[in-house]
Chain A
Amino acid sequence: MSAGKDIAILGVGMHPWGKWGRDFTEYGMVAARAALADANIAWKDVQYVAGADTIRNGYPGFIAGATFAQKLGWSGVRISSSYAACASGAQALDSARAQILAGFCDVALVIGADTTPKGFFAPVGGGDRKHDPDWQRFHILGATNPVYFALFARRRMDMYGATAEDFAQVKVKNSRHGQHNPNARFTKQYTVEDVVNSPVVSDPLKLLDICATSDGAAAMIVCSMDYARKHLGTLDGVCRVKAVGTVTPVYPQSILELPDIASDSTAVIPAPSRKYKDSIAWSAYDQAGLGPDDIDLAEVYDLSTALELDWYEHIGLCPEGEAEQLLRSGATTIGGRIPVNPSGGLASFGEAIPAQAISQVCELVWQLRGHAGDRQVDNAKVGITANQGLFGHGSSVIVAR
């Protein structure tokens, strides 16, 4: 696909993930300042702020674009605020990309930050909301997010022979990667025994198979290729966004996904040949004119260890049912053929929803620049992210240098 649809990433920045309990805007400001400094851009030069919303922090969270524009100092900058569940950060990036490619602005700040409550995510807002599917699944069934993660894990076991040890090996791998990441929340190196001996939350998933909820923030400065050339004097080595896939499902969505209580019906129209989570990555591949063989590393959404294995298949690293084999071969470890989650993934970060899809792109940038330190993937030139949110959201971003 034409380079005419590329935008450049000039700078990235994060606030370390943790459970700090402070206002989310504090983290966002740290990430924004870091991204501005990394880009060598002044705040007053930013023409557009694409904020990714947090819905658990009141009004400032719903209007993230304005919240951060005000925090950085009103400058008349244009803004957007995106909510797409876990894909919010990628949708914010897509919003900035569209503005840049349409010529409405040259340089934009993309930002997401969150402060999270302890324990299971529960429906946002109180009262009996009998028509809200999120309320329904909790009240009627007790179907927490880990319940859905567990349904997918159990299918891998019963259909493909996955074992609890396979799932644990994903955590072991990601903790080995994440121990070197200064922005990771968990830097302990876990063993298979640690994982399989941790308490069962939603069978077959154990506590250490499931990602935590975290506070954190990520930001990036993106711009037109013309702006990048003028700003840097060259485009050599510049990280380019080649694709942002943000497709929704095609009817009938035959897979039971969060937070639905039932799938769509395949009685009249058969399920599409490309399932939803496959279509997220393939929409990005198609935009970029690239395929799985072109990828040097991937950051995928390991909400659970078993879901990382699903993603190997969704993004085309191996055929369906062979992810365990790929994991066991060592291919997805740093040093292997196609390292997955060199950042340490959600296993090492926990999930800070509006920041997470942005943080995945930050990791690609550090890897592609060769700035990833002890977790560096050698000679990385092209990376992909994959992410899934509730209510038909998902994203996949491809970055190349």
Chain B
Amino acid sequence: MGDAPVDYSDAVSETLARVPIIDGWFTMDEIAPSLIGCRCPRCGTYVFPPRAGDCPSPECESETLEPVELSRTGRVWSYTENRYAPPPPYVATDPFEPYALAAVELEAEGLVVLGKVATGVLAADLQVGMAMQLELDISHRDDTNEYVVYVWAPAAPAPSNQQRANP
């Protein structure tokens, strides 16, 4: 992998700065974080990830987009679970712990946003259509920083395996 092993001990974390894994994609609100997208001031369409510049709609000539906080809740469009460590530039734990990802549909914005799923929630706990909400989690740590990433978490208790359409 070429990257230094990641230290997850709590003793280290107390001295680390808490920084977002990428700037400007989500608020660092510990209680009720939001994704930060963009909205076109002319046609009203939404964009995520946030960016500067032109509206993506071919029917709109706006050359600016404005930052906007997106809905904190949505429904699962689909999901998966990584059982092998992704290659760099992903920073994997050693040993690697499987984690889930979910693509969540935000109704008001008409966006489907891919994110990691909260630690400990795996594919067996998820289902298409399930209600999810945005939270923050730790992606990884290095010598100076603790990197925070947005994650999707079940908004309600996960259904039992018996209730799943296709176990």
Contact = CB atoms under 8 A, between A and B. Distances in A.
Interface of A: 119-120, 122-123, 128, 130, 135-144, 147, 150-152, 154-155, 157-159, 161-163, 199-205, 251-252, 254-256, 260-269
A147 B79 CA distance: 9
B86 A263 contact: no
Contacts of B99: 142
Contacts of A139: 21-22, 89-91
A135 B89 contact: yes
Contact of A261 (B56, B58, B78, B114): B114
Interface in B152-167: 165-166
21 contacts: A130-B23, A138-B86, A138-B90, A139-B22, A141-B90, A141-B116, A147-B82, A151-B77, A151-B103, A152-B78, A154-B78, A200-B83, A251-B56, A254-B112, A261-B48, A261-B49, A265-B109, A267-B45, A267-B110, A268-B44, A269-B57
B28 interface: no
A154 B122 CA distance: 13
B87 A158 contact: no
Interface residues on B, range: 35 or more
A137 B84 CA distance: 16
Given A200-B83, A256-B114, A267 B108 contact: yes
B111 interface: yes
Contact of A202 (B80, B88, B165): B80
A163 B101 contact: no
Nearest to B112: A263
B10 interface: no
B113 interface: yes
B80 A154 contact: yes
Given A142-B82, A202-B81, A265 B49 contact: no
A205 to B, nearest CB: 8
A151 B80 contact: yes
Contacts of A201: 82-84
Contacts of B111: 262-265, 267
B87 A144 contact: yes
B138 interface: no
B29 interface: no
A201 B110 CA distance: 30
B123 interface: yes
Contacts of B132: none
Contacts of B49: 136, 261-262
Contact of A143 (B57, B101, B149): B101
B79 to A, nearest CB: 6
B67 interface: no
Given A122-B88, A161-B165, A264-B45, 20 more contacts: A130-B22, A138-B86, A140-B149, A141-B114, A142-B82, A142-B90, A143-B86, A143-B101, A147-B80, A151-B103, A158-B127, A158-B165, A201-B83, A202-B82, A202-B83, A203-B81, A204-B123, A254-B110, A266-B110, A267-B45
Contacts of A202: 80-83
A33 B48 CA distance: 48
Interface in B51-67: 56-59
Contacts of A147: 80, 82, 101
A151 B149 CA distance: 20
Contacts of B131: none
B110 A203 contact: no
A356 B25 CA distance: 36
Contacts of A252: 45, 56-57, 110
Contacts of B56: 251-252, 264
A151 B79 contact: yes
A262 B123 contact: no
B17 interface: no
Contacts of B58: 251
A142 B149 CA distance: 12
B43 interface: yes
Contacts of B43: 268
Contacts of A143: 86, 101, 114
B32 interface: no
Contact of A142 (B46, B59, B92, B165): B92
